[in-house]
Amino acid sequence: MKKEWIEMKKINIGWNFDNSYIHLPEKFYSKQGPTPVSSPELVILNKSLSKSLGLDIDILQNSGIGILAGNEVPEGTTPIAQAYAGHQFGHFTMLGDGRALLLGEQITSDGRRFDIQLKGAGRTPYSRGGDGRAALGPMLREYIISEALHYLNIPTTRSLAVITTGQRVIRERALPGAILTRVASSHIRVGTFQYAAAYGSMKDVQLLAEYTLQRHFPDIAFHEKRFTLLLREVIKKQAQLIAKWQLVGFIHGVMNTDNMTISGESIDFGPCAFMDAYYPGTVFSSIDTAGRYAYGNQPQIAAWNLARFAETLLPLLHENEDKALNIANEEISNFKTIYAYHWLNGMRAKLGFFNEEEEDESIVTELLNIMEKYKADYTNTFRNLTLGKLEGMDIFSTAEFLDWKEKWDIRRKKENKSKEESNQLMRENNPAIIPRNHRVEEALEAAEKGNFSIMEKLLDVLDHPYEYSPQQEEFSMLPPASACSYRTFCGT
């Protein structure tokens, strides 16, 4: 391991590190210290997350900045870059942490375990010619989006802090450098299993699977059919996750297999964005020219990725190849049903339905078709339905919508709950605001010039997306026409 960092002074910040991942074979990682930076300065610290991790906020944002910059390493850590592979836009390649280092796992007072990773901490053996650094804009984007997802009640990795490095990074132009501290249940990916299967032995795959079971699914870790159950649980988690994405109009942008976690958390927020006008073919990523990862394709892509995960487990599912394939196919085939169940139940809640009725799916589908026809804003359509303010949007004056509303009103009368309870259900499931793309860009542009107040104001309202407060009104407004051809770019 490189000794390029300054050893941390024993300051009682609250770090309680372990690193169970290094007990896997060394082919799964490379021991690597972060490369120090010249002039680290704290941009933002996630105080609520710091508190939940058991960290002393005052010390962390002062003398603890060196850790967030990679200039100091806490006692008990063994920094590593993790190896993994993956299908990127359908093409398999060797990957790995090219600019991220896992410091270790923070153990909280209640025994929970969280990965603490520095993103943008310097070159690693997997950098593939890259500089190992990150620019401020993409790191703040990840902070904003991951926090927005968290408060939307969507499983996600989170951001503990962003610091500037005092150094420039060269992308299309010279940009201020930054490091993001990411917190995750783990960074085990579908691509980690693909790496083990492609570049290791079957024993390596089994060791990784056993480790994953003990870390994320301890209740089934010693079950006779634990590997089948592992596949089943990951499928369930991903079906639930993608349904939640679809319900708020979130588009990940790069659903490569290395960006799908085994824990079921959203991860890696490069060219991600939230949909404005409802259109299943919506793509924001500048590199997704064929629309592989469009909004409407996300469920199918998730199933495809999970099939790649199942392939790595085949020898563990059954010693007979044909029977192993049958087991895998049967489990993967359940994804569509599980996803549809969670999506439709979520849509019922968005429309104020507690009960399940036969016509529910057709009511939902008809509304979405009308929204697509009239290019209605996805979030604000449901927001206005929740508020009972059917004005200010072209869709609400159309014959198709008025006909649909009559069916919706009839359907709501079938509920065994009061109208007030139905309205409250809608408020709890239809966010009043999302991180509008033009608002995110406004915050990032200001931040690159040293003004962080716009970002801070945005984060304040995103922390309570279901509040429907007067302060949120301006953040629910649609972008100007000039911003409607929005494109996002990968931070690398």
**Residue 354 carries which side chain, given as an amino acid letter?**
F
Kindly tell me if the per-residue pLDDT of 2 is higher than 50.
no
Kindly tell me if the per-residue pLDDT of 395 is higher than 50.
yes
Backbone φ and ψ of 292, nearest 5° = -55, -40
User: Dihedral through CA 219, CA 221, CA 225, CA 227, nearest 10?
Assistant: 120
Report how far residue 12's alpha carbon sits from residue 385's, in angstroms, rounded to the nearest whole number: 51
pLDDT at 11: 54
Report how far residue 228's alpha carbon sits from residue 238's, in angstroms, rounded to the nearest whole number: 16
For residue 322, give both structure tokens. 């044909």
- In the predicted model, what is the mean pLDDT of residues 256-280? 96
* Least confident residue range of 35-44, 72-81, 139-148, 419-428: 72-81
Kindly tell me if the per-residue pLDDT of 491 is higher than 70.
no
Report how far residue 101's alpha carbon sits from residue 103's, in angstroms, rounded to the nearest whole number: 6
> What tens digit of pLDDT does each residue of 281-307 get?
999 988 888 999 999 999 999 999 999
26 burial class (0-12, 13-18, 19+ CB within 10 angstroms)?
exposed
HSE-CB of 351 using CA atoms within 13 angstroms: 31
pLDDT at 261: 98
A 10 A CB-CB count for 330 gives 12
- In the predicted model, what is the mean pLDDT of residues 182-202? 98
Please give the tally of structural domains in the chain: 2
Kindly tell me if the per-residue pLDDT of 481 is higher than 90.
no
Residues 14 and 153 in one domain: yes
> Of 317, 348, 379, which residue sits at a domain end?
348
A 10 A CB-CB count for 127 gives 16
Kindly tell me if the per-residue pLDDT of 492 is higher than 80.
no
Residues 152 and 235 in one domain: no
270: pLDDT confidence band, cut at 50, 70 and 90? confident
Report how far residue 166's alpha carbon sits from residue 95's, in angstroms, rounded to the nearest whole number: 28
Residues 182 and 198 in one domain: no
Active-site residues: which are they? 258
- In the predicted model, what is the mean pLDDT of residues 91-107? 97
Report how far residue 292's alpha carbon sits from residue 281's, in angstroms, rounded to the nearest whole number: 9
Kindly tell me if the per-residue pLDDT of 12 is higher than 80.
no
Report how far residue 247's alpha carbon sits from residue 65's, in angstroms, rounded to the nearest whole number: 37
Kindly tell me if the per-residue pLDDT of 484 is higher than 80.
no
> What tens digit of pLDDT does each residue of 316-349 get?
999 999 999 999 999 999 999 999 999 999 999 9
362 domain residue, yes or no? no
Residues 163 and 243 in one domain: no
pLDDT at 485: 58
pLDDT at 365: 98
Report how far residue 271's alpha carbon sits from residue 286's, in angstroms, rounded to the nearest whole number: 8
Specify the pairing of strand 174-184 against strand 134-135: antiparallel
Residues 120 and 10 in one domain: yes
Cβ–Cβ under 8 Å, residues 237 and 261? no
Q: Which helix (H) or strand (E) holds 336?
A: helix 321-350
> What tens digit of pLDDT does each residue of 138-185 get?
999 999 999 999 999 999 999 999 999 999 998 888 899 999 999 999
Helices (H), 6-56: 47-52
Residues 176 and 100 in one domain: yes
Kindly tell me if the per-residue pLDDT of 8 is higher than 50.
no
The secondary structure of 248-303 as a DSSP string is: HTEE-S---GGG-BSS--B---SS-EE-SB--TT---BTT-TT-TT-GGGHHHHHH
- Look over the chain and give the mean of its residue pLDDT values, rounded to a whole number: 94
pLDDT at 479: 83
> What tens digit of pLDDT does each residue of 359-369 get?
999 999 999 99
Report how far residue 216's alpha carbon sits from residue 219's, in angstroms, rounded to the nearest whole number: 9
Q: Which residues of 287-326 are buried (b: 16+ CB within 10 A; e: fewer)?
A: bbeeebbbbebbbebbbbbbbbbbebbbebbbeeeeebee
204: pLDDT confidence band, cut at 50, 70 and 90? very high
Cβ–Cβ under 8 Å, residues 163 and 230? no
Residues 56 and 181 in one domain: yes
181 domain residue, yes or no? yes
> What tens digit of pLDDT does each residue of 452-478 get?
999 999 999 999 999 999 999 999 999
> What tens digit of pLDDT does each residue of 101-137 get?
999 999 999 999 999 999 999 999 999 989 999 999 9
429 domain residue, yes or no? no
HSE-CB of 147 using CA atoms within 13 angstroms: 28
> Of 348, 363, 392, which residue sits at a domain end?
348
416 domain residue, yes or no? no
Task: Determine the structural domain holding residue 50 and report its residue range.
Answer: 6-187
65 domain residue, yes or no? yes
Cβ–Cβ under 8 Å, residues 173 and 53? no
Residues 162 and 196 in one domain: no
Residues 6+ apart with CB under 8 A from 368: 278
**Percent with pLDDT over 70 in the chain:** 95
483 domain residue, yes or no? no
- In the predicted model, what is the mean pLDDT of residues 376-387? 98
SS3 119: strand
Residues 236 and 271 in one domain: yes
Residues 127 and 255 in one domain: no
**Bigger pLDDT: 203 or 271?**
203
pLDDT at 7: 44
380 domain residue, yes or no? no
364 domain residue, yes or no? no
pLDDT at 129: 87
Residues 324 and 177 in one domain: no
> Of 332, 348, 364, which residue sits at a domain end?
348
For residue 214, give both structure tokens. 């003990």
Residues 98 and 202 in one domain: no
